[in-house]
Amino acid sequence: MTDTTTPAAGGNEPAKAWSGRFTEPVSDLVKRYTASVSFDQRMAGQDIRGSLAHAKMLARQGIIAAADLADIERGMAQILGEIERGEFAWNLDDEDVHLNIERRLTALVGDAGKRLHTGRSRNDQVATDIRLWLRDAIDQILVLIDEFQANLLDIAEAHAGTPMPGFTHLQVAQPVTFGHHLMAYHEMSRRDAERFADCRKRVNRLPLGAAALAGTSYPIDREFVAAELGFDEVCHNSLDAVSDRDFAIEFCAAAALLMTHLSRLSEELILWMSPRVGFIDLADRFCTGSSIMPQKKNPDVPELVRGKTGRVNGSLVALLTLMKGQPLAYNKDNQEDKEPLFDTADTVVDTLRIYADMITGIRVKADAMRGALTQGYATATDLADYLVKKGLPFRDAHEAVALAVRAADVKGCDLPQFSLDELRIAMAHVPGAAERLGEDVFGVLTVEGSLASRKHVGGTAPDQVRAAVARARKLRA
């Protein structure tokens, strides 16, 4: 093993990659404060991939010898194995993942390791690593969204005809089906998938070759490296290439929206599981008990999803704030981009994994859902629509039904429990309303009649819900 390090000025420790300019070593406090290896070592695989592509290009362009490339490839293979086996010795003195790997490579293969950094800077190197890492994270997230959607579609189809109240302002509004309600979240998840896929396009641009900020005088071939690493294109301005973090902000924005959607669903699961509502129950594996109250079954997972949404939102704001005052080009501030980005990706991945499973553990209490439709006059709008179809202007129909609801409230019954004469009496103050009522009115006041009438695309009629599920499955195929 060749030792290629030299003592730093003023001490016996190995020299920093940049130590020649300085007359004294960095203090231990500054080392700890400025080092990123504790969290950026998770990009080791991406760093090695990027370095191998860079080395291959250097050899292809005649900038380094073929023998150097062979040594670099051999050394990197050993380093990757050490990392995967947990044998790699990460060193705080080497600051970050890049210098740790380069130091080990040089120790293994000598001068070839020193030549690897030809034509690049840590600025474009780290920008490349982040994009490679984030691209992998997005691909994983898209797979998990797809799994969540598949399970959501299964339960939506199973309950395409299960009536429940639709709410506005948390007040009973009109009948919908549970399947239709869940399909609203499928639409949200479709937009989430579209956003991540679109974000990936801007992530997938290669900054390597921009060097520190101005490019390099070596005859490099950036397009070759882009093709080797699966990038769609190169970043076309060297200043922007090393300092851009738009892609990370965009990712966090897409993540914040996804988490907001899951937080909304979590809030509903929590409400529906409450004994005061009692629409569903969650499988025990997603709940916890109380240390003092033996009867408790707490929906901890959806509650934590609600809480973790704030965490992801905070990461988005952190990155926006990080970038808002930075001049071109690279600044040390950008080291602070990784922890919020990593945490956001980890939170989204863990949340999607658990949600995909949790959605299969929902037990629907259909009787409670139907029972709730007897409160709140859920078919009142259907009665107004009936009168309109009989020729009454909508505003008059609205007034007539409002009077009927007031009468039902006084009597303590629902609209379908009125007799035809009672309905006519309740509407008598609106000219033309009472005489338009016939026995057929009770057909539209039933839950099934209300649901079946919403038979257009996007409506809550059970057949339309099933059609929506079929369309969604076709889109996923």
Count other C-beta atoms under 10 Å from residue 193's C-beta.
20
pTM: 0.92
Number of other CB atoms surrounding residue 212 within 10 Å: 15
| Predicted pLDDT of residue 120 | 97
The string of pLDDT tens digits covering residues 273-327 is: 999 999 999 999 999 998 999 999 999 999 999 999 999 999 999 999 999 999 9
Token pair in block for residue 300 = 């901890």
Q: Which of 169, 217, 419, 456 is catalytic?
A: 169
The two three-digit tokens of residue 152, written as one number? 């959501």
For Cα atoms 199, 254, 234, give the angle at the middle one, nearest 5 degrees: 20
Question: Bridge-partner residues for 171, per DSSP?
Answer: 168
- The mean pLDDT value of the chain amounts to 94
- Per-residue pLDDT reduced to its tens digit, 373-430: 999 999 999 999 999 999 999 999 999 999 999 999 999 999 999 999 999 999 999 9
Q: What is the pLDDT of residues 427-472, one digit of tens each?
A: 999 999 999 999 999 999 999 999 999 999 999 999 999 999 999 9
Give residue 19's pLDDT.
Answer: 61
Query: Binning pLDDT at 50, 70 and 90, where does residue 31 land?
Result: confident
CB contact set of 447 (below 8 Å; sequence gap of 6+): 163, 175, 370, 373, 378, 379
Structural domains of the chain, ranges and CATH numbers in brackets: 19-118 (1.10.275.10), 123-165+173-371 (1.20.200.10), 373-476 (1.10.40.30)
pLDDT of residue 413: 94
- Cβ(118)–Cβ(57) under 8 Å? no
Q: Which of 38, 236, 274, 290 is catalytic?
A: 290
Tokens of 349: 């991945």
**290 catalytic per annotation:** yes
Known active-site residue 419 = no
